């Protein structure tokens, strides 16, 4: 039996042109703001604020994936992953609910 050869390159990252999400509720960019808030921009140009203060101050997140986000250094590690807001620990937010609230009110308050 011959050994199996494993490819060292990831060809998915070489797709040309790069795959771009087109659903309007997909997040294009995110920036951590002071006071546990995010500034988000969606692919259709809609921008707004996500306020996570109530969620992160709530006792019911103790022991959940959101608890580490109480640390400002971890909160600042927010990024866009496949059109959604995500942190390095795996916590993420629903981009469609975020989009709907921001479209209506300019802000999404997560509780």
pLDDT by residue, tens only, the chain of 111 residues: 555 554 555 555 555 666 666 788 899 999 999 999 999 999 999 999 999 999 999 999 999 999 999 999 999 999 999 999 999 999 999 999 999 999 999 999 999
Q: Which residues pair with 38 in a beta bridge?
A: 32, 50
- Amino acid 8: pLDDT: 55
**Distance (Å, rounded) from C-alpha 61 to C-alpha 101?**
22
pTM, to two decimals: 0.79
């Amino acid at each position: 039996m011959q050994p199996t050869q494993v490819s060292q390159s990831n060809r998915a990252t070489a797709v040309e042109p790069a795959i771009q999400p087109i659903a309007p509720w997909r997040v294009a960019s995110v920036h951590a703001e002071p006071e546990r808030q995010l500034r988000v921009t969606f692919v259709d140009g809609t921008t707004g604020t996500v306020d996570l203060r109530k969620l992160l101050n709530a006792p019911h997140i103790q022991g959940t994936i959101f608890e580490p986000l109480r640390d400002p250094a971890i909160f600042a590690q927010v990024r866009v992953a496949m059109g959604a807001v995500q942190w390095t620990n795996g916590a993420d937010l629903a981009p469609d609910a975020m989009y709907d609230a921001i479209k209506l009110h300019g802000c999404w308050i997560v509780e």
